[in-house]
Structure 1
Amino acid sequence: MNLDGLRTEIDRIDGKVLKLIAKRLKLCSEISEHKRKNRLKVLDKGREAEIIRDRISKFQKLGFEDQKFVKELFRLLMNKSKEIQKRLIKRKGLYL
């Protein structure tokens, strides 16, 4: 495949990645509603640590060893998720 073909493939993959990120972030509203109704805190350090460990393991099974990249990527996603959850919970009148 030539350079243009490779770039086109990356663009296609990036489009899929963006759709999946959007889907992940939309789930935050459902999660925030569940947490609000059940009076759960937005932050769950144990769950976050579990996610990081799991995603690193999955990335390694795919043949990649860059743990720092996976940690940074998922911390960024989780921070955005918490930001959305806090905003939605606060809007509903119960902020945890």
Structure 2
Amino acid sequence: MNLEELRREINLVDEEILKCFIKRMDISEKIALGKIENNIELVNKTREEEILNKVESESKKYSKYSRKLFITLMDLSKEFQREVIGD
């Protein structure tokens, strides 16, 4: 593959990532609302660590990068949930 083909391919992947990100944030909003209804704390460190461990174990040679990605995703979700909750 040449560089242009690879760039087209990565553009398609980026589109999928964006769709998944938007879906994840939509779900995060619903979770925030559920936390309000059930008086549940915003942060669940145990769950976060379980997710990070799973991501690392499944991503093999990319484990440290996938960990950073998911930390960022979770931070963005928590930031958005704080806005939804009004914290």
TM-score normalised by L of structure 1: 0.84
Question: How much identity, in percent, do the aligned residues show?
Answer: 36
- Structure showing the higher helix proportion among its residues: 2
Contact 2:56–2:67 (8 Å) recurs in 1: yes
C-alpha root-mean-square deviation of aligned residues, in Å? Answer: 1.1
1:71 is aligned, of 37, 52, 67, to 67
TM-score normalised by L of structure 2: 0.92
Instruction: Please show how residues 4-23 of structure 1 align to structure 2 within 5 Å.
Output: 4-23=4-23
Residue of structure 1 in register with 2:45 after alignment: 45
Flag structure 2 segments of 5+ consecutive residues without an equivalent: none
Flag structure 1 segments of 5+ consecutive residues without an equivalent: none
**2:80 maps to 1:88:** no
Give the ranges of 4+ consecutive aligned residues of structure 1 lying more than 4 Å apart after TM superposition.
Answer: none
